[in-house]
Amino acid sequence: MSTPLGPSSSQRVSATAALVVVAIVFVVTVLSVLAAFLFAPEGRDLTLVIGPLLGTLAPTIAAVALLVQVRGVQADVSQVRQDTHALTNGLLDSKVRAAVSETVRDDLIDPSAHAMIERDKRVRSDAHDDGTP
């Protein structure tokens, strides 16, 4: 149930896709400004064309970055939801029973509880990535 320390592969892919989109938006904007300079008729006020082009560049890049961040937050929320579901549906109970059984003397544990304690230890070890209790 533990999460990796680095970004997940889907987060890396979405970050790479965001960089590609930002590069494309930037190149298209620069090419549009260049085309406006090259093909504008003599005497035209180019600021009416170039101003809005350059003005939309920063908000577009910010929107792409925001979408990447939202996707990362959604992935984190999904992981928290899975962990919470597991903990509220018996994983925490299993961990506590397994830990208590390891600290209490064997003669104090009810003999009928040994099978449940073994299941709890398996559940606890399955919940950890490294396999250690």
CB 133 within 8 A of CB 124: yes
The predicted model scores a pTM of 0.49
Q: If you write DSSP's letter for every residue of 62-113 in order, what string do you get? A: HHHHHHHHHHHHHHHHHHHHHHHHHIIIIIHHHHHHHHHHHHS-GGGS-GGG
What pLDDT score does 27 carry? 92
Assess whether pLDDT exceeds 50 at residue 5. Answer: no
Taking the C-alpha atoms of residue 111 and residue 4, their distance in angstroms, rounded to an integer, is 39
Distance CA 76, CA 87 (A): 17
Q: Where are the domains of the chain?
A: 9-127
What's at 119, amino acid-wise?
R
State pLDDT tens for residues 30-47: 999 898 888 888 878 888
